[in-house]
Amino acid sequence: MAVLLILTLIPGFGSFKVLVVLSGSMEPTIKTGSIIIIKAAPDYKIDDIITFSQNPTDKRDISTTHRIVGIENNGFQTKGDANNAPDGSIITKNQVQGKVIIKIPYLGYGVEAARQPAGFAAIVIIPAAIIIAGEVKKIVVEVNKTKLKKDNQQELPK
């Protein structure tokens, strides 16, 4: 995840977007809890899996990821693989955020957990506690070695 974040900061790589899949409308192709990486494309064709928003100007609008099942003059007809019927509205090109290029199953559950206060604390506190315990152990071993050396030197006759 860190590598993906760093790549988005490099010029030319910034058009990638990492999202967590929250519903099962694309199962079994894309499982709930997966992470998907999307990238804007110059054109889209039938069978491409795209991510789009109903209201591109609203930053709070939830994105949808579905497959293109038809192309019309003014946009795309989409459908979730698990859905019985196509979506009710045509998706225009300006609603499309990009095409799915990578999907990583189940990793999104960890990302979503990390977004919660308890999950974030666990991600920070548990590794920190492990590191601190390891360092304390090293200090105790070194103190004991030094103490043993000192005790052995005192026992030797002068």
Q: Is the pLDDT assigned to residue 40 strictly greater than 80? A: yes
- CATH fold of 2-109, please? Umud Fragment, subunit A (2.10.109)
Count how many residues are written for the chain: 158
pLDDT-derived band of residue 29, with 50, 70 and 90 as boundaries? very high
Q: Where do the domains of the chain lie? A: 2-109, 116-155
pLDDT value, residue 66: 97
How far apart are the C-alpha atoms of 112 and 118, rounded to whole Å? 11
Mean pLDDT of the chain: 85
Helix (H) or strand (E) run with residue 38 in it: strand 35-39
pLDDT-derived band of residue 50, with 50, 70 and 90 as boundaries? very high
Average pLDDT score over residue span 108-125: 79
Ramachandran sector of residue 16 (left: φ over 0; alpha: ψ -120 to 50; beta: rest): beta
Helix (H, G, I), strand (E, B) or coil at 74: coil
pTM of the full predicted structure?
0.68
**Structure-token pair, residue 73:** 């003059």
Q: Is the pLDDT assigned to residue 154 strictly greater than 70? A: no
Query: What b/e string do you get for 138-148 counting C-beta neighbours within 10 Å, with b at 16 or more?
Result: eeeeeeeeeee
pLDDT-derived band of residue 10, with 50, 70 and 90 as boundaries? low
pLDDT-derived band of residue 16, with 50, 70 and 90 as boundaries? confident
Sheet of 49-53, strand order: 16-20, 35-39, 96-104, 49-53, 63-72, 75-79
